[in-house]
């Protein structure tokens, strides 16, 4: 009986300790956070998402996934129920996406805000509000996978056609031509090197002498410039001497004024008298010419006088000349 009593006491003690440990664990793991429950409905696959998965708002943990099932209102859609902390700033612009953590394949719900308010979704059969679930980058990549594979296959086919036997022969010929061109360029470079060393070096050797001659020429030009500057100073001094009051230019100006006055007097007084004398001389010469002509035609006029002139037409004694046969 004593063994049974000890065994019973030990069993009761173990049960009490287990109950205490369970109560302690529940007390330590209790969650007093207030949550709001939302639903998400998506036609995309939710591989990697498990109940109790984290719900993050812009990377900050704000809740957890409570249940995953099918949407009775949309055939083929997955219904996800999440619990979000009441402190999370859920607004009409908030939407959800399916995010993946590293390379483990584990998924979580990522909440974010759009630039503009989103259309309000109708409540589900449970009466809980719903948030829009948009396709993630991984889902978009999975949807575009066939198109990407088709493009990769097309690119591979074109590369294979580009590297066929004919094109490889063309590439080989092009490489040979490039090699020949490189050899020609190398020979040309050697010829240029020889030309520079044989022709330019002697010319460069004469550059110092040419530079010395140029320096001498520059010195001569400087000397000529100095002489020209001295001559210019002499000319300026001579000009200043000519321009002083009572100088040569002033005397020339006075002489020109006197000459102009004399020419004016000559033009107003002397020239009219000379002109009249010339006119009278011309008239006297014409008279003398007529007198000489008359004496030449009738010399006896010097002894008997000029005589009477014959009567003209209409005068007494006029006789018309006889008509010539």
Assign 300 a pLDDT band (cuts: 50, 70, 90).
Answer: low
For residue 244, the surrounding DSSP H or E stretch is none
Highest average pLDDT, of 86-95, 157-166, 220-229, comes from: 86-95
pLDDT in tens, 191-244: 777 776 665 555 555 556 666 776 777 777 777 777 777 766 766 776 676 666
- The number of helix segments (H) and strand segments (E) in the chain equals 9, 7
> Residue 114 has which token pair?
């759009």
- pLDDT beyond 80 at 5: no
- pLDDT beyond 60 at 325: no
Rounded percentage of the chain residues whose pLDDT exceeds 90: 6
Assign 65 a pLDDT band (cuts: 50, 70, 90).
Answer: very high
Beta strands at 94-101 and 133-134: parallel, antiparallel or unpaired:
parallel
Nearest to 140 by CA among 179, 185, 169, 97: 97
pLDDT in tens, 93-145: 899 888 887 667 788 898 998 888 888 888 877 888 888 888 766 666 666 66
**In 103-159, which ranges are E strands?**
106-113, 133-134
What is residue 215's predicted lDDT score, i.e. its pLDDT?
77
Distance CA(153)–CA(148), nearest Å, equals: 9
Burial of 63 from C-beta contacts in 10 A (0-12 / 13-18 / 19+): buried
Distance between first and last Cα of the chain: 220
What is residue 25's predicted lDDT score, i.e. its pLDDT?
78
pLDDT in tens, 20-48: 888 887 776 665 678 889 999 888 888 88
Task: Give me the residue label for tokens 């483990």.
Answer: 104
Nearest to 125 by CA among 71, 203, 192, 54: 71
Whether residue 125 contacts residue 41, with contact meaning beta carbons closer than 8 Å, is answered with no
> Residue 69 has which token pair?
């099932």
Whether residue 51 contacts residue 68, with contact meaning beta carbons closer than 8 Å, is answered with yes
Q: Please give the distance of CA 83 from its chain centroid, rounded to a whole number.
A: 58
| pTM attached to this predicted model | 0.39
- pLDDT beyond 80 at 59: yes
Cβ-Cβ contacts under 8 Å for 57 (sequence gap 6 or more):
84, 88, 89, 111, 112
Q: Provide the mean pLDDT of the chain.
A: 76
What SS3 class is residue 271? Answer: helix
pLDDT in tens, 273-297: 667 767 777 777 777 777 667 666 6
Whether residue 96 contacts residue 133, with contact meaning beta carbons closer than 8 Å, is answered with yes
Distance CA(42)–CA(133), nearest Å, equals: 6
Domain boundaries, the chain: 34-135
Whether residue 282 contacts residue 276, with contact meaning beta carbons closer than 8 Å, is answered with no
């Amino acid at each position: 009986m004593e063994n049974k009593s000890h065994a019973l006491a030990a069993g009761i003690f173990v049960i009490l300790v287990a109950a205490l440990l369970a109560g302690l664990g529940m007390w330590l793991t209790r969650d007093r956070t207030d949550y709001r429950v939302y639903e998400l409905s998506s036609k995309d696959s939710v591989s990697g998402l498990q109940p109790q998965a984290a719900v993050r708002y812009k990377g900050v943990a704000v809740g957890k996934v409570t249940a995953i099932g099918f949407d009775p209102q949309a055939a083929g859609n997955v219904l996800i129920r999440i619990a979000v902390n009441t402190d999370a700033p859920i607004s009409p612009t908030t939407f959800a996406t399916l995010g993946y953590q590293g390379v483990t394949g584990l998924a979580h719900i990522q909440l974010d805000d759009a630039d503009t308010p989103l259309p309000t979704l109708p409540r589900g059969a449970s009466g809980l509000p719903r948030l829009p679930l948009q396709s993630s980058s991984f889902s978009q990549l999975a949807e575009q996978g066939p198109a990407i594979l088709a493009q990769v296959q097309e690119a591979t086919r074109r590369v294979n056609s580009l590297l066929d036997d004919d094109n490889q022969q063309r590439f080989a010929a092009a490489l040979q031509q490039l090699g020949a061109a490189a050899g020609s360029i190398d020979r040309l470079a050697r010829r240029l090197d020889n030309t520079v060393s044989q022709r330019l070096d002697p010319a460069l050797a004469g550059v110092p002498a040419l530079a010395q001659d140029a320096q001498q020429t520059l010195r001569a030009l400087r000397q000529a410039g100095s002489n020209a500057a001295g001559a210019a100073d002499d000319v300026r001094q001579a000009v200043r001497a000519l321009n002083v009051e009572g100088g040569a230019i002033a005397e020339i100006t006075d002489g020109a004024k006197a000459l102009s006055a004399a020419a004016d007097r000559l033009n107003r007084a002397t020239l009219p008298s000379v002109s009249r004398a010339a006119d009278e001389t011309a008239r006297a010469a014409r008279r003398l010419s007529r007198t000489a002509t008359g004496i030449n035609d009738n010399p006896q006029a010097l002894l008997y006088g000029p005589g009477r002139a014959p009567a003209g037409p209409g005068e007494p004694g006029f006789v018309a000349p006889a008509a010539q046969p």
